[in-house]
Copies of this chain bind each other. A is one copy, B any other.
């Protein structure tokens, strides 16, 4: 599977998030910044995947409902422009459920159970009463999300590559069995940016670990989180030599400092000894706070008028629906389910 270059244009792109919480710096660095760029020169669809979020949150629908708007605020705050990026709510495009039902017949249970991403996520979640069938099947639902828009490019982290593989298999099976080139094979667009660690330096940023800086966090909260950030535990006094690798403050600087030459010099100084953690964190706040302030202010403006943002989501969902309905029609034709072609 060849990954695509992030500078390519004229692609149809499907991207999005599960509305299980507000978005954080990890999302921003890993995908949101890229989406803002990709929306120029490509046809980008951005899904707020409420149905997928319900596959492991069926008992907590309030959480999903509440976070749909939060995620939409985050999208608008980072500069996704609904005039060029179609932002939509998954459950408002029922064609995706129909496509999922048809695709489920082209994938075996064993194949889903072998999916490394799903296996890993099942382990992480340790479902108490057993794995919900919807959760096992969600890669098929993702294939519906991707193919409904005939997306040929899907930005993913490397841990999500098995999802693209699953979609590709479904596309190939469908086109072969029904003997028509209806569906389009998606290619992954791998992020060139390393994943941002949590402020505690322990793996990725996540809500449940309490190690995230949110796009909606105020300046004081950001200052506080940066001050408490994990650094090099062996770097006790400023004069001690410190380690840059695996030190989240430097990972953040890699992601945010526009002065890469200055950053290299600072890393050398830190390694050598004589540079205190407070000084490094100050630099991080100097570059981080202005960028976050722009986002936060925009977010606040949008959050003042949720009705307008809902109207945007409704409009986006209508646009998405029209595209998905066209694909579904072709799918049904290929499957000989076109009982009333004239309609």
Which A positions have Cβ atoms within 8 angstroms of B? 50-51, 54-56, 58-59, 61-62, 64-65, 68, 89, 91-92, 94-95, 97-98, 100-102, 104-112, 127, 129-137, 140-141, 177-178, 310, 313-314, 332, 335-337, 339-340
Contact = CB atoms under 8 A, between A and B. Distances in A.
A90 to B, nearest CB: 10
B100 A50 contact: no
Contacts of A137: 104, 133, 137
A127 B106 CA distance: 12
Contacts of A92: 339
A50 B337 contact: yes
13 contacts: A51-B102, A55-B105, A56-B105, A58-B105, A61-B335, A94-B94, A97-B100, A108-B131, A108-B133, A110-B130, A133-B137, A137-B137, A314-B340
A190 to B, nearest CB: 27
The count of identical subunits is: 2
Nearest to A141: B101
Nearest to A107: B133
B339 A314 contact: yes
Given A68-B339, A137-B104, A314-B340, A109 B97 contact: no
A136 B105 CA distance: 9
A55 to B, nearest CB: 5
